[in-house]
Amino acid sequence: MMKNKPIRIQFLLVFLAFLILLFGLISLSNIFLLKPFYVWTKTEQLKSVSRHYDDVAVDPQNQEFLRLIEKTQYRDQAAVDVFDAEDELIYSSIRNSRENRPMDIRPMYSDEERGKLQDGRILVKQIYNPHHNQTLIVVSRLLPGGEILSLSSAMAAIEQSVAILNEFLLIVLLLFVILVWICARRFADYFSKPIVTLQQMTNRMIQFDFSQQWHESRRDELGNLGTNMNKLMLIIGNFIEELKGKNELLESELERKNKLDRMRKQFVSNVSHELKTPIALIQGYAEGLRVDVNTDSASREEYCDVIMDEARKMNELVRELLLLSQLELGQDALSIERFDIASGLRTAATRFRHLSANREIAFELNVQEDAAEVIGDRNKIDQVIANYLSNALYFVNEQKRIRIATVREGERIRVSVYNTGPHIPEDEMDQIWTSFYKVDKARTRGEGGTGLGLSIVKRIMDLHHMPFGAANVHDGVVFWFELPLAA
């Protein structure tokens, strides 16, 4: 379950467990080891003190002997008893206050213990003192003069010292635990906070959010990691932004490719449709002539006229297809020059007036002579004017009015071709420049053109980088384009 907790809690729990273990070890050591260690230390101390009596004569009148006993009694907290070879007490530092005689604390040694003493070994015993109801640690050894030196220290003092020391250690340990716990929390915050910040940064990176930055001023491994995370987020952020841009460009290119593919398929379908009818008519009328379906010359003349008319339409369609293809592939470069746009408009109006003489269409020409010099490709602009006029002838209504006009627009001149007739639906205004697109689907082949005229206009004006368009007016439609004035 530890792995599911935050790193700060894990750190504090591990540290708390360590403190509990440390506290338990110290407590067990005090309970089971401190007293034996204290007894052993006291015994070794008494052994060391006993060796100081080897160089001093045992004589109650000897001041050096008395000073050594006083030092042993007050500094080393031990009582001194000296016995002769027959266990008679020679001197004791403990007096009976009521009887003013030495206490009867002569140790009773067994033969084995006397043998150890005679061999120069130190004898350590714990003896119960009934006069004071306490147990004594007694260290005995044989002095060079044959006397037996006995140093004794009460166990009660040792036990009391151990108890006081345990209480002191307990208080110190509790204070230490509190202080260490406070430091551990600060230490945990110091190390867990940057780790949490780095975790939040990585979580945001997963969600492609690179706004969070590392702001800690550390010089250790975590600080280095945070600085590298900032650099990594900057690199990944820039890479993703660049990748988004490329993806958008790729999507745009794919959409453009799909659009061109759809246009190509539609274009092929339209061309096939436009060629199928004249080819079928030519084939049918030619077969009729071959098998002499018609016997009189008038009928044969009519058949020939139909064949020639359909062949002309096919030739016009193919010519416009080739022109549009050359314009789109850039194979028909512009030939820029100065020319008189008014002259070209008058020539086009005269030509189309003759072509539509039987329809009694009224042509109006409103051209500004003072703004007639323009810059562009004369032949292609003549093609634009011709296509506009052809379109106007196809869609002019019973009012039969077509007006060609020019007007100056700053440093440009706008040429417009107006005809009375039905309006173009606003939602189809952008589609009329597409190849083979026809607003009126009900018009017959004889009444309509190839459907390429306006798409050729669009391509020519795009090559000139000049504006063009169409708009519905009160009683008809006007098509226009602009050219820069030569001046």
The confidence score (pLDDT) of residue 480 equals 94
Given 3.50.50.60, 3.30.450.20, 3.30.300.30, 3.90.1150.10, which CATH number is that of 1-207? 3.30.450.20
Q: Is the pTM of this model over 0.85?
A: no
Query: Residue 388 and residue 407: Cα distance in Å, rounded?
Result: 17
**C-alpha torsion 408→409→414→420, nearest 10:** -90
The confidence score (pLDDT) of residue 136 equals 81
Structure tokens at 127: 């003896």
Local structure of residue 145 (DSSP, 8 states):
T
- Angle at which helices 221-290 and 155-206 cross, to 10°: 20
Query: Residue 172 and residue 182: Cα distance in Å, rounded?
Result: 15
Sequence spans of domains, the chain: 1-207, 333-484
The Cβ of residue 414 has, within 10 Å, a number of other Cβ atoms equal to 17
Q: Please report the sign of the dihedral spanned by the C-alpha atoms of residue 257, residue 262, residue 263, residue 269.
A: positive
**Site of tokens 């700053």:** 410
Q: Which residues of 41-53 are buried (b: 16+ CB within 10 A; e: fewer)?
A: ebbebbeebbeeb
3-class DSSP state of 414: strand
**Site of tokens 């220290």:** 153
Compute and round to an integer the Cα radius of gyration of the chain.
62
Spatial neighbors of 371 by CB under 8 A, at least 6 apart, are 406, 408, 413, 485
Question: Is 162:34 a contact under the CB 8 Å cutoff?
Answer: yes
Strands 401-409, 79-83: pairing is: unpaired
* Tens digits of pLDDT across the chain (487 residues): 455 566 667 777 777 788 778 777 877 777 777 778 878 888 888 888 888 888 888 888 888 888 888 888 888 888 888 888 777 788 888 753 333 344 444 456 777 887 888 888 888 888 777 766 777 888 888 888 888 888 888 776 666 777 777 778 778 878 887 887 888 777 777 777 777 777 777 777 777 777 777 777 777 777 777 778 788 878 877 888 888 888 888 988 888 888 777 766 666 666 665 666 667 767 776 777 777 666 677 777 777 877 777 777 667 667 766 666 766 666 566 788 999 888 889 888 888 888 787 888 888 998 887 767 899 988 889 889 988 998 898 889 888 899 999 998 888 999 999 999 999 888 888 888 887 676 555 444 444 556 677 888 888 888 889 999 999 998 899 999 999 998 7
**C-alpha torsion 54→60→61→63, nearest 10:** 50
Q: How far is CA 317 from the centre of its chain?
A: 58
So what CATH class is 333-484?
alpha beta
The Cβ of residue 158 has, within 10 Å, a number of other Cβ atoms equal to 19
The Cβ of residue 212 has, within 10 Å, a number of other Cβ atoms equal to 16
**Site of tokens 């550390």:** 218
Distance from first CA to last CA of the chain, Å, rounded?
Answer: 88
